[in-house]
Amino acid sequence: MKEREKQKDFNLEKQHGEIIGTYEEIYGHKTSIDVENIFQQCKDQIKKVLVLGRAGIGKSTFCQYVTYRWAKGELWSEYKLVILIHLRRLTDIRYPPGKKYSPINLLENEYFPYEDLSAEQIQHFKELCKNHQVLWILDGYDEFAQSIPEQLEDVFKHVREAQHNILTSRPYAIKSSYDVKLEITGFTND
């Protein structure tokens, strides 16, 4: 029954997103923004940006691009760590039910699946999170929204609400309220 309700909500949101998209295409005014400036309009202490775009427009490419630029020291130096999570990988198989997961589990499972982090590394990561020096890039909410494993709901909510994050999605899949919403319509050569 719960799945049917989720599917119904999903279909309504998809339909609403298509209507809004059409309206914006006809009436909306879009301006380009440099990637360096996407956090400028964030009013809250926790910076949260929603990046929307149709299928195939480049949301995942955007995520890889900003992660690469950060790693090269060219972007967002206020963050000591940027973590790119492909949400479609957060499945029951990779995160078995019956366990409560934390941000450190996401880091370990996604980046260090064959080794354990030391107690010192875990403590350092927790300090970075506590001091808001971690940026989470959560890619593909639309592929994840209908099937969020119950055991990951709390950690996903925590990362979205209590940590700096960029969330990408197709427009019809998102209900979350983000102060800053951007749309990828394409890329320039710059």
Q: Where are the domains of the chain?
A: 2-183
Q: What length does the chain have?
A: 190
pLDDT attached to residue 35:
84
Distance CA 58, CA 172 (A): 16
Q: List pLDDT tens digits, range 73-88.
A: 999 999 999 999 999 9
What CATH number matches the domain at 2-183, 3.10.110, 2.60.120, 3.40.50, 3.30.1490? 3.40.50
Q: For the segment 156-178, what is each residue's pLDDT rounded down to a tens digit?
A: 999 999 999 999 999 877 776 78
* Residue 181 pLDDT exceeds 60: yes
Torsion sign across C-alpha atoms 94, 97, 99, 103: positive
Query: In this predicted structure, what is the pLDDT of residue 26?
Result: 46
**What is the tens place of the pLDDT at every residue in 15-32?**
545 544 544 554 456 677
Rounded-to-integer distance, Cα 158 and Cα 97, Å: 18
What residue ranges in 2-133 does DSSP mark as E strands?
48-52, 81-86
Tell me how far the alpha carbon of residue 173 is from its chain's centroid.
13
Which two tokens mark 145? Answer: 């929204």
Asked if pLDDT for residue 110 goes beyond 70, the answer is yes
Contact partners, residue 141, CB within 8 Å, separation at least 6: 87, 167, 168, 169, 173, 174, 176
pTM for the model stands at: 0.81
Name which residue leads in pLDDT, 186 or 155.
155
